[in-house]
Structure 1
Amino acid sequence: MDWDKLRIFHAVADAGSLTAAGDTLHLSQSAVSRQIRALEETLNTTLFHRHARGLILTEQGELLFDATKSMSKRLETASARIRDSEEEVFGELKVTTTTGFGTIWLAPRLSRLYAQYPDLKIDLMLEERVLDLPMREADVAIRMKEPSQADLIRKRLMTVTMQLYASQAYLDSAPDITQIEQIGDHRLICQNPSSFQVAAGASLVQHLLTYDVPSLLTMNNYFGVLQATLNDLGIGVLPDYVVEDFPGLIRVLPDISSGDVPVFLAYPEELRQSKRISAFRDFVQDEIQAHRRKARLIA
């Protein structure tokens, strides 16, 4: 099959219209249409249903689009590997991690990475969904459990626990709390038990709720929990890495914490030689070492 025709088909299928695909490819609508008709004639099948609202893939078109998507991802990988210079770090790096870790810990530190590599372009994707690294939905991931996908290089970065924190202003205005049975005298701020979160955090929240907590504020990520806690709304269940960057938070009930949560960095085996990956990996490891040193000083 002619790759040029497949490339044009992929653009049309992705855009859903001849005009939009033509704009992307810098071709006229008629040129794009001719290539699609030629491909349909070669395959002796119809790839699109034509509608006034645009183009919809036929069953055969869906099969071909799945194939061109896979080919496109592989070409992106090859292109990325070729672009990686032996001495310079540049180009786009797609990083995925959880909303909490990305907003609270990672994003505030990226200025130091940019200072070292100003030509790096980072696309930071913050979501709880685990993206498919081998299919290049992202280049590198930081996750709160060991990735299960095959063909990944993975490195354990650190261990996190969920603990209880409150602002000094809240503690000054609220009843004393020296034992877990008194948690019912306070507003608890935590992730919604039904939202996606690490098992250790969910278990801690479920345990706390057995103490009949009448006032509750739930969020769907730790960034929201942090903001509410900083604004004196109650006692927040937060990961322990917040202590370094928010020293005004006071740990409550220091004997209460979740089980250990491992934090892993992972990337596809085929990007082993990527200078961008190496630079990001080394940056994260250096920041974690600095984080540990500060944590020891705080303790």
Structure 2
Amino acid sequence: MDWDKLRIFHAVADVGSLTHAGDRLNLSQSAVSRQIRALEESLGATLFHRHARGLILTEQGELLHDATSAMSKRLETASARIKDSEEEVFGELRVTTTFGFGLLWLAPRLPKLYDKYPDLKVDLMLEERVLDLPMREADVAIRMKEPSQADLIRKRLMSVQMLLYASRDYLEKNGAPQTLDDIADHRLICQNTDSAQVSAGATLVQLLMTCNPHSTLTVNNYFGVLQGVLNNLGIGVLPDYVTQDFPDLVRILPEIGSAEVPVFLAYPEELRQSQRIAAFRDFVQEEIIAYRKSLRTQEKT
């Protein structure tokens, strides 16, 4: 089968237009059309339905597109491995993690990674949805549970808990609850239990809601919860890793907290030799060691 025709077919299937595919490939619309017709003739099948809104894949076209998509991802992997140098770290690294961990822990530490590897290009993809690493939806993931996908290298990084925090200003004005029942006198800031989140966090929120808080503010990610707490709106349910970077936060009801949530770093087996992956993995591990040391220092003071 002609690889060039498959490349053109894949571009047309992705954009649904001969003209746009031609623009992407630097080919004329007529040249693209000829290649598609030739591919259809060689296969003895119609690959696209012509529609007023563009080109729509037929059932046979869907089958071929699945195959070319898999080929494309394999080629991307091969290209990434070829580009990896034994001495240099450069190129694009697609990192996926949750909104909370990505915004509140990882992103503030990325300047250190760029200082060390200025030619690295990080594409930070914040998703509660678990991306498919073997299918190369991302290169490396940091997730709040052990990945279940096969053919992954995984390493447990640390554990986190969802705890209760308030700002010093809020507590000076409203006082601190002494028992769980005292939540009834405060505004609770948390994720809605229907929001995508770790089950341990949702379980803690469900418990707190039984205390009938005076008022609530629900946000669909921990960054929003943090902003509410920092702006003195109430008592918030937040992951414990925020305490290092926001020393104004005060933990409330220290006996109350979620179950521990494991944090894992994972990447495909086929990227085992990637220098970009190794650089990112080592950077994250070094930052976690520094984070733990900082917490121990805070506990002593």
Deviations 1:192-245 (A, max 9, x none): 011111111111111111112231111111111001110000000000000000
1:185 maps to what in 2? 185
User: 1:255 aligns to what SS in structure 2?
Assistant: coil
- Give the CA deviation at 1:54: 1.2
Within-5 A mapping of 1:220-231 = 220-231=220-231
Q: Contact conserved, 2:153 with 2:269, CA < 8 A, in 1?
A: yes
1:10 maps to what in 2? 10
How far apart in 1 are the matches of 2:187 and 2:212?
Answer: 11
User: 2:129 aligns to what SS in structure 1?
Assistant: coil
User: 1:245 aligns to what SS in structure 2?
Assistant: coil
Deviations 1:125-167 (A, max 9, x none): 0010000000000000000000000100000000101110001
- Give the CA deviation at 1:52: 2.7
Question: Gaps spanning 5+ residues in structure 1: where?
Answer: none
How far apart in 2 are the matches of 1:254 and 1:140?
Answer: 34
Deviations 1:16-48 (A, max 9, x none): 101111111111111111100000000011111
Aligned amino acid, residue 230 of structure 2 = L
1:146 maps to what in 2? 146
How far apart in 2 are the matches of 1:175 and 1:155?
Answer: 42
2:48 maps to what in 1? 48
Moved runs in structure 1, 4+ residues, more than 2 A? none
Within-5 A mapping of 1:107-186 = 107-186=107-186
1:202 aligns with 2:176: no
How far apart in 2 are the matches of 1:283 and 1:40?
Answer: 49
Aligned amino acid, residue 121 of structure 2 = K
Larger deviation, residues 128-137 vs 168-177: 168-177
How far apart in 2 are the matches of 1:262 and 1:175?
Answer: 33
- Give the CA deviation at 1:174: 1.1
1:71 aligns with 2:71: yes
Q: How many residues align?
A: 299
How far apart in 2 are the matches of 1:2 and 1:165?
Answer: 62
Aligned amino acid, residue 282 of structure 1 = D
How far apart in 2 are the matches of 1:26 and 1:162?
Answer: 52
RMSD: 0.8
How far apart in 2 are the matches of 1:212 and 1:220?
Answer: 20
How far apart in 2 are the matches of 1:212 and 1:258?
Answer: 19
Aligned amino acid, residue 137 of structure 1 = E
How far apart in 2 are the matches of 1:86 and 1:292?
Answer: 30
Larger deviation, residues 172-181 vs 7-16: 172-181
Question: Gaps spanning 5+ residues in structure 2: where?
Answer: none
Aligned amino acid, residue 31 of structure 1 = A
Deviations 1:67-118 (A, max 9, x none): 1101101111111101101110000000000000000000011000000001
What's the TM-score once normalised by structure 1's chain length? 0.99
2:91 maps to what in 1? 91
User: 1:256 aligns to what SS in structure 2?
Assistant: coil
Q: Contact conserved, 1:188 with 1:234, CA < 8 A, in 2?
A: yes
1:281 maps to what in 2? 281
- Give the CA deviation at 1:183: 0.7
How far apart in 2 are the matches of 1:29 and 1:93?
Answer: 34
- Give the CA deviation at 1:175: 3.9
Percent of pairs with identical residues:
76
2:296 maps to what in 1? 296
Q: Contact conserved, 2:183 with 2:214, CA < 8 A, in 1?
A: no
